[in-house]
Structure 1
Amino acid sequence: MQKGPGGGFLLRFLAVVAGYALSYSLFRSVSFSHWIPLAGLRLVWLMFLPYRYWPAVVLGEVLPLAYTSIQCLELYGTAWAAFNMLPPVMVVMPVVHWFRQRQPFLDRKQIDGKQSVDIGAFLQCSLIVSIIWSGVFLLSVGLMHAPPGETPSVTSNLASRYLLGNFLGILAIAPLALMAWETLGTARPHTLLQQLSTSRLAMEFVFLTVPVIALLTWLGADAAGDARQVARIAMFIPVAALALRHGWHGAALGGFVASVGIILTMVAKRDPSVIQAQALMALAITSFLLLGSRIAAQNKREQASQIDSKRALEIAQQGFFLSEMRLRQASFALDHIGASVQEAHNQLLGQLRYLLPAVDSRNHYRQATANQQRIYRLADSMYPLAWRDRGLPAALRAGSIARTLDEIGISYQCEILGRGLSSMSPRLHAALYRAACEAVVYLVTQAHPNKVRMTIRGCESQNRRWVVLQVDGVDAHYAATNPATSIEWEWLAPRLGASGLGLDTIRDIALIYAGTLRVRSTEKRVKISLFLQDADSAD
């Protein structure tokens, strides 16, 4: 039998009534004048509960209040009993409603994928509702019918105690709920345990803050006089440390434990030294929450800046790789066109071989072969055919770099060491090859070495991969001693598909792949070292 929408709402409404009444009774049992965690409970329910369930909260508070009024009717009088049945949570509903609508301290927009809290608005709301609840209690005291031998009166001391109790009770409870909402609101259930196990805040809170405050509580409970007060004041230190390191989340956790620790050192309910320590703690928690919110906002801006920088690097890497893919397609197309032109030329010469002299035929054949070689070199400079057929190591060892250097009389040697090069991403392969071409062009055109030695070392550790490229120009003389090869040097960059802009291009590639560039030069040697990280490796 299916239940209609009205039946489901009624069940949820009754569940809210029962849950609030139960939590109200539990928190009320540990509340007194200058320590009222019940105030924090009330505000938490109003902050997070939808408006349609607010009547359920009122009903859940009326039930225990009515029971108390009936029990104390003869003791405190009818006027007090009737006023006591007015739920304090209902009195502050307009205030909380205004803050939720006009100055919300819960931001659910999730622009960056995370929820956020406005601590300033929360503290303003907390102070206002604390003042209202203190006024309600003082009015209730004024309506009491004095029992025989007692004269209840509203004093400034009583007013300050209840204002402090309400405000400190809110600061002890509500920030924890706000922290849980902000931290766990967008998290998936199966990742909660992993987040907690890797959270530095959780580790420092459990293994540092809690033991320190527990030790101070034990010392304060056994001490007397000034020593006890010193132990209470010293509880501010771990709260401040946690707030400075982790923002207002640390202030919320540390403030709760410190507030409980101060209460546990109390020897009497109205101990003036406890009230003084609580007043200082309320001031400290408020300050730490405000300071922590600024720290958290600054950390978020830094994280957003890091995310933007990382995203910009990813876009740059993607653009670099897409340009390489376009060059690869153009290389394939040129290779295909070259084969087609060669075939058409051969067919044409075959048709005309009886009409042309033998000398002209040989000239045409040589010209066709030279054109075919030009097209092949152009296609190979865009994307080495050895890379396409046998992979990057073959392109570096016996590709266009080796052939071009051999043509201009420079000895070339390539050595690949380490592991993980073949498993790195195609993006890094493309960047590595282009950086190698740019480095060779720079060495040859600037230092004119007799020998170029290239060393590539792939590394992998803890799911992170990187590569180190070293291009070493040996026997450099920094001046072209063979004029016949100067023309070849001018065409070196186009033949290798390099820009020929020197170290700036190599440095740009290093920046895109979070690497570094280092150049060492002596009279007879120039060495370029490049470090690149694989962005596709797991963090």
Structure 2
Amino acid sequence: MRLNWWNEGLQLKLRIHPAGLALAALYALACWATRQVSLDQFYLPAGVRVAAVLLCPPRFWPYLLLGEYAYFAQMRLPMIERYGLTWVILASLFQMPIVMMIVHLHRRMISAAKNAWLISVATSAAVLITLLNLLLAQSLWPTPPEFPLMTGIVRLVVGDFIGILTLAPLALLWARRKAEPMPGKWAFAQILGALALMVVFGVTAAQLPPEAATGKFSLQLLMALPAILLTCVHGWKGAAVGVPTLNMIIGLTTPSAHLGSFDPGSFFTQQIMALTGAALLVLGSRITHYYHRSRLREVGERNAIRLARSSHVASELDLRERALHLRKLGDGIDHSLNEVINWLMAQGHQAIAESLIHMASVHSRKFREQTSMVYPAAVEHLGLYVALRAGGVREAWEKTARIACPSLLGDPCQLSVGLQLAAYRTLIDAVTLLLQSEHGQIHVRARCGKVGSHRGIVMTVALLDPQQQLSSATRNAATERLAGRTLAYGGSLKCRHNRIRLSMRETGSVASLDALSPRATDNLPGFEAGTTHA
């Protein structure tokens, strides 16, 4: 049984897809068409070869080989009598497999989406194919090429390299059209304007007479300025459009009649442009790379701020529920005390009843003040400033005998409830920090307003003595304890001299307390018939 395959042979199944045959024909036609407008110093079929391998998945590479061999067959079969069958076969056999091998070796770099690897692919393909072509020509041609070997290497390497940089970036741009967003109207207009300017410079340079070589060279160098501008503004996309256009204009305006002809003046310009194009592609790749990194960091920071703001809102909602529960407990205690007082008065214990009424009033007021410290319900109806002046915070500050009368300006009711609650918590924490860490009188200032399209609040907690400086421990503690809320609401924290300055602003809507209707707060602690218990 084990030797059946030896006796019966191997059965191979070969599927030929019509789409693959069409791809092979299209590739051969593209190579033939681009060769008609190519020169030794500007060889576009090399670019078609690399671009096709980059565009097509590996399962279609055999069809590219078929198209390559069909293209070489129609071109080189008539050359057998002049150059020999051995050279025709060997020189046509290795070029596409070398490019496929180079692209395969760069597959990890390609998957990393860093486009600087394209320069490595272009250089490797141009050098290897040129060296093998010239070595085969020197060895197998009956009459070796007339030009020196090193001159041929430089000329053909530059031609292949420019051809690859002309078509391969466009192929990559097309292959990644779905992964990257399309430019907007203004960006598209910028690209079209830069390309039109390059065409104007190129056509003008081509119209100059041969004796105006200096002016022609200057205009050709000026063509690089729009490409540089596109690279700096649009990164890799700008370079992938600008560099091929630059190479194409210079190549097509080179005054040479056919493949094999050579123009020394244009070749010097093309060498400069080849180096410039490679530098622009690398620069554009790095610009795009760092732009994406900054965008990811920006998105991450924005998400972190949004989550922090949502966390603060969720915490306030939890405290609101607790305050509501405490209010219900306080109402139950007041109701029970009222029943006891009524019973005592009915039994004739007038003095005991009056004493109990006074005690119940004092403790009920303190209970409500402490409840308002848990959640300042006055913020939802009457605003931040009322919560600071009439709630339990005022009582606590007055007991310290160190807080001067706060200076509160502006209308806090123009701000969202979430921002007012964050400002309330931050201001209380800042005052508490100075009470614990510093000595002397403290002054509190707050101002609400609008700057541009943003509404916000600026708060300052300062020592009255201007000569007294905040200690480093106080500054560090302020940064650790207060920066979270200020950053979550698009603000900042600054500790200077004797003061802590806090700013907060509206940063967009989130699931917050702002959706609460006024009726929803009627039963919250601190509200009875539109009044507050101070």
TM (norm. structure 2) is 0.72
CA deviation string 1:293-338 (max 9, x = no partner): 4444444444444344334433432333333223222222211221
Comparing 368-377 with 245-254, greater Cα deviation is found at 245-254
2:350 to 349, 358, 362: 358
The separation in 1 between residues aligned to 2:185 and 2:383, in whole angstroms, is 46
Partner of 2:9: none
1:431 matches 2:427:
no
SS in 2 for 1:32: coil
Amino acid at match of 2:152: L
Comparing 253-262 with 345-354, greater Cα deviation is found at 345-354
Assess if the C-alpha contact under 8 Å between 2:31 and 2:45 holds in 1.
yes
Assess if the C-alpha contact under 8 Å between 1:220 and 1:229 holds in 2.
no
Amino acid at match of 1:358: Q
CA deviation string 1:447-473 (max 9, x = no partner): 678xx9965335674xxx432457899
Alignment of 1:29-428 (within 5 A): 29-73=36-80, 77-83=84-90, 86=93, 88-100=95-107, 103-107=108-112, 116-119=113-116, 121-138=117-134, 141=137, 152-153=145-146, 155-156=148-149, 157-181=151-175, 184-187=177-180, 192=182, 195-199=183-187, 202-208=188-194, 210-212=196-198, 214-223=200-209, 224-268=212-256, 269-349=261-341, 357-388=349-380, 390=381, 394-396=382-384, 398-399=386-387, 401-402=389-390, 421=414, 424=416, 426-428=417-419
The separation in 2 between residues aligned to 1:519 and 1:139, in whole angstroms, is 74
The separation in 2 between residues aligned to 1:13 and 1:351, in whole angstroms, is 101
The separation in 2 between residues aligned to 1:154 and 1:518, in whole angstroms, is 73
1:535 matches 2:507:
yes
Compared CA separation, residues 537 and 227, structure 1 to 2 (3 A): farther
Comparing 89-98 with 431-440, greater Cα deviation is found at 431-440
Amino acid at match of 2:246: A
CA deviation string 1:457-508 (max 9, x = no partner): 35674xxx432457899xx9879xxxxxxxxxxxxxxxxxxxxx98996666
The separation in 2 between residues aligned to 1:80 and 1:502, in whole angstroms, is 81
Compared CA separation, residues 325 and 66, structure 1 to 2 (3 A): same
SS in 2 for 1:95: helix
Q: How much does 1:397 deviate?
A: 5.7
Assess if the C-alpha contact under 8 Å between 1:144 and 1:152 holds in 2.
no
Assess if the C-alpha contact under 8 Å between 1:65 and 1:87 holds in 2.
no
Assess if the C-alpha contact under 8 Å between 1:220 and 1:265 holds in 2.
yes
Amino acid at match of 2:110: F
Q: How much does 1:378 deviate?
A: 1.9
Assess if the C-alpha contact under 8 Å between 1:519 and 1:527 holds in 2.
yes
Q: How much does 1:204 deviate?
A: 4.1
Amino acid at match of 2:125: V
Q: How much does 1:282 deviate?
A: 1.5
Q: How much does 1:272 deviate?
A: 0.7
The separation in 2 between residues aligned to 1:30 and 1:412, in whole angstroms, is 82
Compared CA separation, residues 502 and 240, structure 1 to 2 (3 A): closer
1:515 matches 2:511:
no
CA deviation string 1:5-60 (max 9, x = no partner): x9999344344334433433333333221112222222122224221111121122
**Tell me, which stretches of 5 or more residues in structure 2 are unaligned?**
1-12, 467-476, 511-534
CA deviation string 1:487-539 (max 9, x = no partner): xxxxxxxxxxxxxx989966664443233568999xxxx9998643322269x
The separation in 1 between residues aligned to 2:448 and 2:421, in whole angstroms, is 14
Compared CA separation, residues 12 and 537, structure 1 to 2 (3 A): farther
Compared CA separation, residues 507 and 179, structure 1 to 2 (3 A): same
The separation in 1 between residues aligned to 2:285 and 2:164, in whole angstroms, is 17
SS in 2 for 1:105: helix
Greater relative contact order (Cα < 8 A, sep 6+): 2
The separation in 1 between residues aligned to 2:426 and 2:489, in whole angstroms, is 11
Assess if the C-alpha contact under 8 Å between 1:220 and 1:232 holds in 2.
no
The number of residues matched between the two structures is 472
Assess if the C-alpha contact under 8 Å between 2:201 and 2:223 holds in 1.
no
Amino acid at match of 2:185: S
CA deviation string 1:116-175 (max 9, x = no partner): 2241x33222222112322343356458877xxx87557422332221111111122222
Amino acid at match of 2:33: L
Compared CA separation, residues 505 and 143, structure 1 to 2 (3 A): closer
Assess if the C-alpha contact under 8 Å between 2:54 and 2:172 holds in 1.
no
The separation in 2 between residues aligned to 1:178 and 1:57, in whole angstroms, is 17
Q: How much does 1:274 deviate?
A: 1.2
Amino acid at match of 2:106: F
Assess if the C-alpha contact under 8 Å between 1:232 and 1:277 holds in 2.
yes
Q: How much does 1:228 deviate?
A: 2.1
The separation in 2 between residues aligned to 1:131 and 1:520, in whole angstroms, is 63
SS in 2 for 1:92: helix
Amino acid at match of 1:331: A
Assess if the C-alpha contact under 8 Å between 2:87 and 2:141 holds in 1.
yes
Compared CA separation, residues 165 and 448, structure 1 to 2 (3 A): closer
1:467 matches 2:461:
no
Assess if the C-alpha contact under 8 Å between 2:37 and 2:252 holds in 1.
no
Q: How much does 1:64 deviate?
A: 2.7
Q: How much does 1:270 deviate?
A: 0.8
Amino acid at match of 2:44: P
